[in-house]
Structure 1
């Protein structure tokens, strides 16, 4: 039973975008690993941008500096 965990920042992903991620990740496992899509589980975690860091800095600070 494959399990895929996708983590993204909580910047307004639409329901449609989430569905595309779920379908695309599932299809990738079907094509590459020959996994059964009926048994493939996908979870999307939306992480607050204060809890996401890049280059040693909170992502929220990077966004704020751009504005």
Structure 2
């Protein structure tokens, strides 16, 4: 019985029920298409993590998001990627 875990750094606005349902349906379909698993055997867990509890490159996702917002407003080039979540 496959268990798919999707971890997201919580954001504002938070992921909607519809978005979460789409993630669950998409992950289930992927397991069906790629591994031939029956949808009823696939379990999907969405874990939303406080961005203060998620870090990358030595900084929290909160700090990374704030910096990218500031760079965007200032017209900075940024680092080319999104922080987690």
Category of TM-score, reference length = shorter chain? over 0.9
Per the TM alignment, residue 8 of structure 1 is displaced from its structure 2 partner at its CA by 0.3
Partner of 2:31: 29
Aligned pairs, number: 67
The whole-number CA distance in structure 2 between the counterparts of 1:41 and 1:10 is 21
Matched, 1:61 2:63: yes
Partner of 1:51: 53
Partner of 1:4: 4
TM-score, scaled relative to structure 1: 0.93
SS at match of 1:7: strand
The whole-number CA distance in structure 1 between the counterparts of 2:65 and 2:24 is 27
Partner of 1:14: 16
Per the TM alignment, residue 59 of structure 1 is displaced from its structure 2 partner at its CA by 0.6
Q: Which has the higher strand share?
A: 1
Moved segments of 4+, more than 6 Å: none
